[in-house]
Amino acid sequence: MKRLALLLGLIPASPLLAETLERENALKLPQTLITGNRQVEARSDSASANSVFTRDDIDRLQPTSLTDLLSRVPGVQVARSGGRGGLPGIYIRGTKSAQSLVLVDGQRMANATSADSNLQYLNIDQIERVEVLRGSRSVIYGSDAIGGVIQIFTRRGADQAPQLRLHSAVGSYGSTLNSLGISGGDTQSRYNLSGSLENTAGINRTTVSYPVDNDHDAYRNKSVSLNLSHTFTDTLEVGVSALKNTGKTELDAMFGQKGYSDFDISSVGGFVDAQINDRWNSRVEWGHSENREKTRDKLSPDHYAFNTYRDSLNWQNNLTLNDQHSLIVGADSYEDRVRSSTVFDEDSRWNRAAFVQHRFHGDYFSTELGVRHDQNQQFGRHNTWSASLSVPLNVDNELLLSYSEGFRAPTFNDLYYPQFGNPALKPEYSKSYELQWRSQLTDSSRLETSIYRTDIRDAIVADANFIQQNIGAARITGFESALHQEWFGWQSSLGVAMIDPRDRDTGHTLSRRARRTLSLDVDRQFDRIGVGASWQAVSSSFNDDDNKQPIGGYGLLGLRGNWIASPEVRLDLKVDNLLDKSFTRALYSYDGNYYGYREERRNVQLAVTWTPAL
């Protein structure tokens, strides 16, 4: 905790420092982490391999979408089904989307029917911070956190006078983004209110399809977010947050019809944070989230609605026993409900859990040991364990050895979808082993490297008749490395990952997982002018579990720049896919054959941000 104290040493002292103002200020800092243990800690103190993007990082990198940002994380792959608004597969360390947990301001966001994270619908301009944990974190978060955890924090206020933000961008494919926000606060209160509107005429997502699909597929997204917190006394803070994204995305390959989807993704939550005494902090969080989606057809009255609702409650107690020992003791509860045009045999279920984690920080080694007990309405009781050992070799080098277990309860689609669901399914289980080496090579260079293995049993896969079965077992071994360096004023980040994700029954490579990925970002700010470049390389993969449908690898080059015209005005210019490469991340079926979804070719965007003083 000494490193964290140095990072936050400038924050005004108060008894509630550890979990109130510290937490709000930590969202602005690149070397802090909240998601690892649901409390503020230094990134280097977390046992989880992790990546953090602050708002400054987002402004510098100028990603078009959240999935574009995530593709920079070593060990994370994105397989999007054609252009903006297309359904993305998110693969963390070779696990599938349903095996990783997505949180927005602490609230679970995955759809309870399909387990889709809906990350494609979250507007990048509404995001303050993104944290990614690579590797199982099921003791803290329970079901779904087998591959890792992605947490998105929406825009936050700061201890400053009211600040207005106006942002406008225009780009290729008829794309526009306009947003307006106001934020501010003082030592007691913080607030942010912002809204945005994103439009794109899009691209024709499919190369070969029905004649009515031979058009551009548009995407529209309206978003609004709110964050408010207030410290009533030195020992009590209360806060609320809300996010709502609505819009429409047009679809291709819809059985000869012109399909589109109306979506409405929302969450609202709150917390009460109390410093009981010098050694005990208690925090209660509640939340409600909704995933509503209706697929329609312009040429017929057909429509399909899938709406899911989730209520959650978390109580966590952080206990500092002495300078070396601490405890996390907590309880979780959430309930999912389904309202759909498709009739499910069951349309609700709950999960309740209790967990405890002990941490020891010593001069020669540190340990973490945790256990969680879940009781699921459908699947009964489950225990998961985790343990880690950290050994500092010297001041600049550290080795971490960890073991973690995880499980994932089947979704409502897995269990009850007509003709394809299987109510006899059992949960998936995992065991993960990892060795990390963290090294401060120089004052301006840091290397983080991991070697890991994840074994999954009772994996849920579709058989030859597309019926879900517990017939699979998978073993994923991998290596990943992240190098952050600053040299001669240039800031660079290099991420490399190599994985071997195999179905142990067949020996085949798991679908849509590339074995090798590389991401490189290089940036420099010359006073008021900034320049940067990105390079992303992805090796070939297979679209299917039988490894008969290959997907070619690709490399993408991007350039970006900015001009700080005045303290209130900033101009950004970027060119994605500078070399105008044709590539695909996923295949689709048409007329008995498979074809690649199109992705955007060369893409230019110009943006202006105005932050006038009020």
Domain residue extents for the chain: 2-610
- 32 or 465, higher pLDDT: 32
Question: Are 434 and 450 a contacting pair, CB within 8 Å?
Answer: yes
- Residue 256 in this model has a pLDDT that exceeds 60: no
pLDDT for 255 equals: 54
- 462 or 514, higher pLDDT: 514
Calpha distance 445→44 (Å, rounded): 14
Question: Are 4 and 45 a contacting pair, CB within 8 Å?
Answer: yes
pLDDT for 112 equals: 85
Exposed, middle or buried, 142 (CB in 10 Å: 0-12/13-18/19+)? buried
Residues in the chain: 614
Calpha distance 94→292 (Å, rounded): 28
pLDDT for 545 equals: 86
A 10 A CB-CB count for 378 gives: 14
Exposed, middle or buried, 363 (CB in 10 Å: 0-12/13-18/19+)? exposed
Mean pLDDT over 145-156 rounds to 94
pLDDT tens per residue across span 76-131 = 999 888 888 888 889 999 999 899 999 999 989 878 888 887 888 999 999 999 99
The pTM (predicted TM-score) of the whole model is 0.94
pLDDT for 25 equals: 76
Whether the CA torsion 44, 47, 49, 53 is positive or negative: it is negative
The Cα-based distances of 448 to 33, 63, 386, 496 in angstroms read 16, 24, 21, 11
Calpha distance 562→234 (Å, rounded): 42
Mean pLDDT over 519-523 rounds to 98
pLDDT band at 285 (very low <50, low <70, confident <90, very high): very high
Nearest to 370 by CA among 384, 381, 380, 382: 384
pLDDT for 386 equals: 96
pLDDT band at 16 (very low <50, low <70, confident <90, very high): very low
Mean pLDDT over 439-444 rounds to 93
CATH code of 2-610, in short, is: 2.40.170.20
The Cα-based distances of 308 to 41, 109, 218, 337 in angstroms read 33, 10, 25, 6
pLDDT for 301 equals: 77
- Residue 299 in this model has a pLDDT that exceeds 80: no
Calpha distance 88→116 (Å, rounded): 8
pLDDT for 80 equals: 84
pLDDT for 207 equals: 86
Residue showing tokens 């995880």: 406
Question: Are 510 and 501 a contacting pair, CB within 8 Å?
Answer: yes
pLDDT tens per residue across span 100-109 = 999 999 989 8
The one-character DSSP state at 420 is T
- Paired sense of beta strands 100-104 and 148-154, if any: parallel
Which DSSP string do the residues of 114-127 spell out, in sequence order? Answer: T----GGGS-GGGE
pLDDT for 6 equals: 42
pLDDT for 87 equals: 82
- % of the chain surpassing 70 pLDDT: 96
pLDDT tens per residue across span 468-499 = 888 778 999 999 999 999 988 999 999 999 99
Q: Say which range, 242-256, 359-373, 539-553, has the weakest mean pLDDT.
A: 242-256
Calpha distance 127→154 (Å, rounded): 4
- 433 or 214, higher pLDDT: 433
Mean pLDDT over 328-338 rounds to 96
> What is the average pLDDT score of the chain?
91
Mean pLDDT over 443-451 rounds to 95
pLDDT for 572 equals: 98
Question: Are 317 and 328 a contacting pair, CB within 8 Å?
Answer: yes
pLDDT for 22 equals: 64
- % of the chain surpassing 90 pLDDT: 73
- Residue 146 in this model has a pLDDT that exceeds 90: yes
Mean pLDDT over 168-191 rounds to 94
- Residue 12 in this model has a pLDDT that exceeds 90: no
A 10 A CB-CB count for 30 gives: 14
Mean pLDDT over 270-292 rounds to 94
Q: How far is CA 128 from the centre of its chain?
A: 13
pLDDT for 568 equals: 96
pLDDT for 304 equals: 84
Contacts with 396 (C-beta within 8 Å, 6 or more apart), sequence order: 439, 440, 441
- Residue 521 in this model has a pLDDT that exceeds 50: yes
